[in-house]
Each structure stands twice: as structure tokens, then as C-alpha cells.
Amino acid sequence: MSLQVKINSKAVRLPEGFELAINLKNNLLDGDREDATYPMEVNLASNRQVFGFVDRTHMDMTEKLQAGVSFGPYQLLNGQCVLTDVGDGNVEFYISTEKNSFWGKARDRMLDESCWGQFTYSPGNRTNTLEQFYKSLKERMDYVVCPVRDSYIKNSLDTEVDFYNYLEPGEEYFSSSYQIKPIYFTPFLRVTVVVKRVLEGMGYTIGVDEFSSDENLKDLLIICRRNPIDVNRGSEVADKYRYGEHLPRISVYDFLREIENKFGYNFIVDETAKNVDIRRLNLSLEKEVKVLDGVAKHFLSDEDRVTGIIYKDASSNDELVKSLEYFLSYVFGEEEDAETVECISTIVGVASDVKTFVRPNVKPDYKYEYRFAAFQEEFGDGYERVEQVSKELRFSIYRGMIKSVPVDGSGRSYEFYYPVASPIAESDGNGTFSLLWNGVDDGLSEYVKERALLLIGAEQHHEFYVCPDIKNLDNLQDFFSCVLVIRNRRYMCYEQEIVLNGNSIVSHLVRCYPL
């Protein structure tokens, strides 16, 4: 086995005694997603085939070149070579993973430009369009077209109802509701679909996917009000609308980090295989590790200890969200001096109304309550609204077709079902999971609890040198995704440092919290 550094596919001749230290952090525990830089210095005369005559005065040193580091068959780094200095017969440079790593690519991409997929409808055949939208309420599709009331919609769109996806309560199919014009639709994409499409668009395959298989999150929706569709336009040409047009204009990085912060799922990346595993911290998975003799124990000072962590939703000017403010944050441990994990998203609230059914010559009338997702906001002007709507990340859960509730003692011989998206579980709806942090038994706090309590309980960390084994380089993330069993004791690894020279693994250090 040999260590190879390649720049523009050309092998760099490394100096005798050259060593490279690669540092990796556990994304399950560490909030940092910064990309790494690896400085190097080599002889210029021995590497003319790589750097040419960069030492001449007229040569440009600003060009960034593709670079990679491998050890035997294992690709350890992919990035760009940046020259920093030429002198005394040597050339100094560093390899940066900023643009080539998973997180580097995620920073450079916008979510609305990175989610491939489209749905097709024919404005010339409104009936087919509305049937497709209604189908999304009953069948599992990439999106759901459920009613959402927006108190500001009449100020910005030419419509007579303050709803997107308006469905008259008690009516089957959207087509019955369209005697007035125009009505605006917008599909709300399932978050699991968006994650999958974005990762595939970045060139990665998905291996273990605990996120998509989570029953609580299978109907988690992004409620985005961008680019609503008027199905009454009368065009004879079928339109194909991109999924991305119905997503907020935020970076892919911010979106994926929000999945990590809010739902506790982490994107564990294998750059060699271009594979991503999506996992939660699981203290039941174990990996036995053989280590060399000796251990270094370090006790955390009071300043370094985590005594509390606060998770909280983004603030909102939405009155329905403000009314639930107490439930949109959670404190683990001590609140004083606690670290804060601030999410960039929040929920969409829920409002209700009463539908009255008039029966000829029979009193009293039937009255039934129905509920719907709703925005209740005030804006200074239309520009302010457009700016907020374009960037906001708002979640809800589609609860399916909910049974109506009679009110005011009216008769119970009639009932209807209606679709609703709500952050809070409905009595006969889909699941008990809630998008609230606090005050519920089955809410968001359960998703981040193990991580928070592990960090708060950490009083010391131990360092071990793993027995050098080339097979460990096949997937170094295994050391992070499992509990390490070392000398019959359980540890959670938060950092690794692997030192390589020309033909061997010099050392493999793991830093761990004892469990």
C-alpha cells in the first residue's frame, strides 16, 4: 500500500519522511460542518510535471487545480489544490475539500434548483388536473394538495377565497368548488422526497436511510407558498412544473442541517463510494475495536463541559405560531449558560371554521367544525411578504381525511371527511407524532434526546490508538455510527486522527466519551 497525492491526475513526488494527518469529526455529535485544509510542501524540481515553471515571474499562481489523496485503493480526500508559496526550490500548497466535499457542494447549491422532479397538468383540461390534485389527498404521492388558509392572499392574488387548494367542506373532488375564479393551487412536497431527490442530484447514492423509513415523518410536508398555480388560465398546452418551484430559496446546506438539528438525523458521507447513510444516534449499535496498550484520560474543565442545550424553532410574526411559542423550544439540563441549537424552520398553525348544512323545512341546521392549516400574518407591504415567502421553511404533517365534528348540539346523522395538515396530532388522524418541542409525549425532543444527554453527561474523554488495519480505511464513518466496545467498555467516538506516511498507517487515534 502507498500514499498518493494527485494534482490534475498527476502524481506528486513526496519528500522522504512525508506524513499526512487526516482529522475527522463525528457529525452525530459535532455541529461543525467546516471543510478541511491540508498544507503540504514538496520539491519543485522533482514535480515539474505537476506544477510546471510556476517559479517564473510571469506564471500565474492563482489557478485552483483538482487534487486528491488516496492510500492504496481507498480515496481519502477530494478537493482543490491552492498554491501559497514558491521559494528555495520548494512549492507550498494546500488541498481544500471546500468545493468537492459533500458539505462544500451543499453550500454552493440552492434547494429550489437542486430538487429534480416535476408534476404535469393540462390547463386545457381542468378536470384532469383537479382529479390529480384530489388523488394526492388519498394516495401516497410526492406531494399533497391540501387546503391552507392565508390571511394575506387576497391582497396579493386575484381570488375570492383566502385559501390555497380550497376544497369546499363536505364536497368530493376539487372540481365542485370552482364556480368562482380564480383558485390557486400549490403542491406541498414530502420532505423525504426532497431529501432523496437532492442527494441524488448531488451525485450521491443513499445507503442506510432511517429518515425515509420513519413512520412519524412519512407525511412531513414543506408548506411553501411560492409560485401558486391558477388552473383556470385556459392554456391548451400541458405545463410541467418543477418541484423546485415549490420550495424555499435557501441553500441545500441549510436545509440538510435543519434535518439534522430538528429531527436528529445525520448525513454520514463516504466520499470514496459517493454514498450517504442517513442515521440517528443509536446507542444499541456496537463495534468491537482492538487498541494498542495505554489510554489517555482527560477530564473536562467546568468551562468545557456542556451543562445544558436549548433547542428552539425560528421566530415568526405569525399569530397562530406565536400562540404556541412555549411549545416551540425545549431545554435539556440547565438553562443558564446552555448552548442553543436554533432551527431555521417553524410550524404552520391550524385554524378552524364551522360549516352549516341547511335542510329544507327542518331545524336546527347541521353545524360541523372543520380544521385547516393557516397563516395569520401582517406585512408592511407586498415586497416584505414576497421576501419572507421566498425564504421561509415551514413544516406540517398531513393527517389525512379527518372526520367532521358536530357542534352546537346539531344532528349527527350527517358527517363528512376533509383533509388537514397539522403540526399537532388530530384525534382520528394520521399518527400521534407532533412537531412541537415541549409539552407533548411524542414530539421533537425525543429525536435529539440521546445526543443532548450524552453531551451533557460527558465529564471526561479518553484517547486510544487503534491497532493499524488497512481495512479500517474502507469506511472510517463506522467508528462514528456505532458505539465502540474497547476492553469491554462502551464509548462514543467524537473524533479520529489518522496519520499516514509513504507506505503505512503510522497511527489511528480515536477520541471518545465513555458511556
Half-sphere exposure in the Cβ direction for 381 (13 Å, CA): 1
Q: C-alpha 172: how far from its chain's center?
A: 35
CA angle 496, 207, 75 (to 5 degrees): 45
Q: C-alpha 377: how far from its chain's center?
A: 26
**What is 77-124 written as a DSSP string?**
EEEEEEEEEEETTEEEEEEE-TTTSHHHHHHH-BHHHH---EEEE-TT
Do 87 and 227 fall into the same domain? no
Do 47 and 149 fall into the same domain? no
C-beta atoms surrounding 340 within 10 Å: 11
Do 88 and 130 fall into the same domain? no
Q: Which residue has the cell 378536470?
A: 127
- Chosen domain end from 288, 307, 341: 288
Cis peptide before 364 (omega within 30 of 0): yes
Do 93 and 214 fall into the same domain? no
- Residues 46-52 have a mean pLDDT of 90
Sorted by sequence, the CB contacts under 8 Å of residue 296 that are 6+ apart come out as 462, 463
393: in domain: no
Do 82 and 116 fall into the same domain? no
474: in domain: yes
H or E element at residue 263: helix 252-263
Residue 414, pLDDT score: 67
Half-sphere exposure in the Cβ direction for 422 (13 Å, CA): 24
- Per residue in 262-292, is it b (16+ CB within 10 Å) or e — as a string? bbbbbbbbbbbeebbbbbbbeeeeeeebebe
Q: Which residue has the cell 409525549?
A: 441
Do 120 and 194 fall into the same domain? yes
Answer whether residue 52 shows pLDDT above 70. Answer: yes
Do 490 and 469 fall into the same domain? yes
Smallest CA-to-CA distance from 343 within 250, 267, 458, 431 is with: 250
- Chosen domain end from 266, 288, 310: 288
- The 10s digit of each residue's pLDDT in 18-27 is 999 998 888 8
Better-scored residue on pLDDT, 435 or 417: 435
Do 178 and 275 fall into the same domain? yes
Answer whether residue 61 shows pLDDT above 80. Answer: no
- Lookup: cell for 407: 357542534
Q: What is the CATH number of the domain that holds 10?
A: 2.30.300
The confidence band for 238, taking pLDDT boundaries of 50, 70 and 90, is: low
Beta carbons of 478 and 49 less than 8 angstroms apart: no
Beta bridge partners, 199, equal none
Smallest CA-to-CA distance from 373 within 435, 330, 325 is with: 435
Look up the domain containing 141 and give its range: 111-288
Give the integer Cα–Cα distance in Å for 259 and 392.
15
Determine how β-strand 205-209 pairs with β-strand 65-71: unpaired
Residue 170, pLDDT score: 73
- Residues 225-238 have a mean pLDDT of 71
Q: Which residue has the cell 428552539?
A: 312
455: in domain: no
C-beta atoms surrounding 128 within 10 Å: 13
Residue 309, pLDDT score: 95
- Residues 139-157 have a mean pLDDT of 87
Give the integer Cα–Cα distance in Å for 316 and 376.
10
The confidence band for 121, taking pLDDT boundaries of 50, 70 and 90, is: low
235: in domain: yes
Smallest CA-to-CA distance from 447 within 282, 206, 219, 208 is with: 282
14: in domain: yes
250: in domain: yes
433: in domain: no
- Chosen domain end from 288, 317, 352: 288
Q: Whole-model pTM?
A: 0.89
- Lookup: cell for 316: 415568526
Do 33 and 157 fall into the same domain? no
Answer whether residue 33 shows pLDDT above 90. Answer: no
| Overall number of domains in the chain | 2
357: in domain: no
Do 280 and 154 fall into the same domain? yes
Do 31 and 74 fall into the same domain? yes
Judged by phi (left if over 0) then psi (alpha if -120 to 50, else beta), residue 454 lies in alpha
Better-scored residue on pLDDT, 416 or 8: 8
CA dihedral sign of residues 161, 166, 171, 176: positive
Do 90 and 229 fall into the same domain? no
CA dihedral sign of residues 451, 453, 454, 456: positive
